[in-house]
Structure 1
C-alpha cells in the first residue's frame, strides 16, 4: 500500500467572556468554559459573549432568548501550506453534545445566517461536527437562538469548539463536497517534511487493523507504535522506543486497509481524537529526509534511525 495522505480535520475550542450578567453563570479562565442559564433573560433578548481562547465549551441551560457569540481567537500561528506559504485561514469546528436540545445554532457571516445545528427531537441521531473557515478581518460570529418549548426543564444547548489557524475546513467531516482526490491524495515531499514539524503527533508504527465508523463516515486505524517521536496529548500509550498502541481516524472514502510495512504517521488532535495527516512509508520518509538534510532544506530536526 503506498503512503496515504491528508484527511486532516479541522478545529475550535474557546474562552468566553460574558459582557452581561447571567444568573447561574459560571466562567472559568483555566478551563476556558462558560456555563449559564437563560432563566434570567428577557423574552427576545440577545446576550453578547466574546470568545478568545483556542479551546472551550459552552453549556446553556434552559435556553431562552438568544446568545450572540463573537469569535476573536488569539492564535499563535496561521495556516501553513506547502512550502511554508501562509493562507491566513482560521478554522472553527463546533461539536454539539449528543443531548443538544432547546436551541438552534447559526453561523453569522457578513450579516447572513446559515444553520449549523438545529433543535433535536429525542429520537433524532446525534448532531455532527460542523466546521467553517474565515480569513483575517472577515466578520464571523455564532448566533444561538432558543426555540419555544412549554417545558424547558430538560433543555440544554451544549457544545465544544476549537479554533485553529493551520487547518482547512474542506477536510472536515461535515463537508459533503470533499472528494477522495483532495482528501486522500498522498503528501508530497515538502508537505511531509512540514508535517513532521507542525503536527500534533509524529509516530512510527504499523497498521494492525482498520474499523469503519459509519456514523462519523470515518475509518479507525489501529496502530502499533514502535516509536513516538512527539505527541501533544497522550494518544499513544508509549513515549519511548517500547511498542505501544493508539488509534488514528481518517475519512472513510480514503479506503485505508491493513497491510505490512512501517509508516510515519502524522496529524492533528481534533476534539481529543487523532486524525491522520501525512503518512508515508517510513523508508520513503527516511530517503526524503536524508536528501533534504544533505541539501540543508529540512525545516526541523528529527532523530531518524
Structure 2
C-alpha cells in the first residue's frame, strides 16, 4: 500500500506519463487522434511527434489545432537535406494546413484543396505542419487524414515539378538513373490508360534489375516475367508501341512514377560506350 508521502512523490511522474502518452503516437510513425478530447477547448494546440520515414495521420472531429513535427529516426547532416511529401485523403475535411516556422505560418493546403488528393512536397527546413480546425456547427463527419514520406530534397523537387518527367533525359541522367532510382526494369508498353490528371502505363517486364517495393509482380508461371503499372503526367502524351525500353523511376505512396525511359537499344549503346571510357557510375547486367 502506498503511503501518502510516496504517493505525493509519484504523482508528478504519473502526470508526466499521461501528458507524453497523449502527445506521442504509439509507434512514432503514425498518429490517430480526436478533437473531442479537447472537451470544448477550441483553442487547444497539441504537439504530435513522428519519427519515421513514412506513415500517416488521422484526426477525427478536428477542433483547435495540432502541430505535427516530422523528423527522421536518425541524427546525421543528411537529415537537414530532406523533403516531406504529404498525400491527403480525398475525403479529408475540416482543417487548413500550414507550415509553421518559428511561429510564422504559411498556407500549404486549404480544406477544399485536400479533396484533390495531390502530393505536396516541401523542405523539412521549412518547418512543422500546423493543422488548424475550421469551425463548423457539425463536426461529426469531418476527418483530416494524409500519408507522409520523407525523401531527398532532389526527389521532392522532382515531385513538385509539373511536367518534369516529360523532358528527355541527358546521357548522364540516364546512366545515373540506373544507379539511383527506386525501380529499374527492361520491358515493353502493353497499354496506356488516360485517367483524370495522369496516364497509367501497363508494362510487361522481361528483366527486373531493382525495385524498392513490389511495384512489378510476377506475370508468368514458366517464363520469368513481371507486369505492373507506371504513372506519368497526362500531358506527356505517352503511347503504346513496339520495342523495348529501360524503365526507371520513383515510388511515391506505393505508386510507380516514370523517370528516364530510353529505348533499351539506345541505353545499351550509351552504357557500353561509358563502360569503354570507364565513366559508368555503377554496373548493371546489360547484354
TM range (shorter): 0.7 to 0.9
Q: CA distance change for structure 1 residues 229 and 62 in 2, over 3 Å: closer, same or farther?
A: same
Q: Residue 48 of structure 2: SS of its match in structure 1?
A: strand
Q: CA distance change for structure 1 residues 54 and 296 in 2, over 3 Å: closer, same or farther?
A: same
Q: What do residues 153-180 of structure 1 show as CA deviations (whole Å, max 9, x unaligned)?
A: 222111101110153444336x6xx3x5
- Is 2:54–2:148's contact at 8 Å kept on the other side of the alignment? yes
- Is 1:27–1:35's contact at 8 Å kept on the other side of the alignment? no
- Which structure has more RCO (C-alpha within 8 Å, separation ≥ 6)? 1
State the alpha-carbon separation in 2 of the partners of residues 19 and 246 from structure 1.
Answer: 46
Map of 1:43-58 to 2, 5 A cutoff? 43-58=42-57
State the alpha-carbon separation in 1 of the partners of residues 165 and 186 from structure 2.
Answer: 22
Equivalent residue for 2:137, pick from 132, 146, 150: 150
Name the residue aligned to 1:188.
170
Map of 1:156-235 to 2, 5 A cutoff? 156-165=143-152, 167-172=154-159, 178=162, 180=163, 182-214=164-196, 217-235=197-215
Matched, 1:105 2:97: yes
Which structure is larger by alpha-carbon Rg, 1 or 2? 2
State the 1:259 CA deviation.
Answer: 1.3
- Is 1:93–1:129's contact at 8 Å kept on the other side of the alignment? no
For the aligned residue pairs, the C-alpha RMSD in angstroms reads 2.9
Matched, 1:248 2:230: yes
State the 1:65 CA deviation.
Answer: 0.9
State the 1:109 CA deviation.
Answer: 4.6
TM-score by length of 1: 0.77
State the alpha-carbon separation in 1 of the partners of residues 82 and 234 from structure 2.
Answer: 25
Q: Residue 150 of structure 1: SS of its match in structure 2?
A: coil
Name the residue aligned to 1:14.
none
Name the residue aligned to 1:96.
88
Name the residue aligned to 1:71.
70
State the alpha-carbon separation in 2 of the partners of residues 113 and 156 from structure 1.
Answer: 22
Q: CA distance change for structure 1 residues 74 and 293 in 2, over 3 Å: closer, same or farther?
A: farther
Q: CA distance change for structure 1 residues 194 and 304 in 2, over 3 Å: closer, same or farther?
A: same
State the alpha-carbon separation in 2 of the partners of residues 272 and 218 from structure 1.
Answer: 16
Q: CA distance change for structure 1 residues 78 and 210 in 2, over 3 Å: closer, same or farther?
A: farther
State the alpha-carbon separation in 1 of the partners of residues 122 and 57 from structure 2.
Answer: 20
State the alpha-carbon separation in 1 of the partners of residues 20 and 95 from structure 2.
Answer: 20
State the 1:73 CA deviation.
Answer: 2.9
Name the residue aligned to 2:22.
22
The size of the alignment, in residue pairs, is 265
Map of 1:255-266 to 2, 5 A cutoff? 255-266=237-248
Gaps of 5+ in 1: 1-17, 80-87
State the alpha-carbon separation in 1 of the partners of residues 153 and 264 from structure 2.
Answer: 24
State the alpha-carbon separation in 2 of the partners of residues 286 and 78 from structure 1.
Answer: 33
State the 1:78 CA deviation.
Answer: 5.8
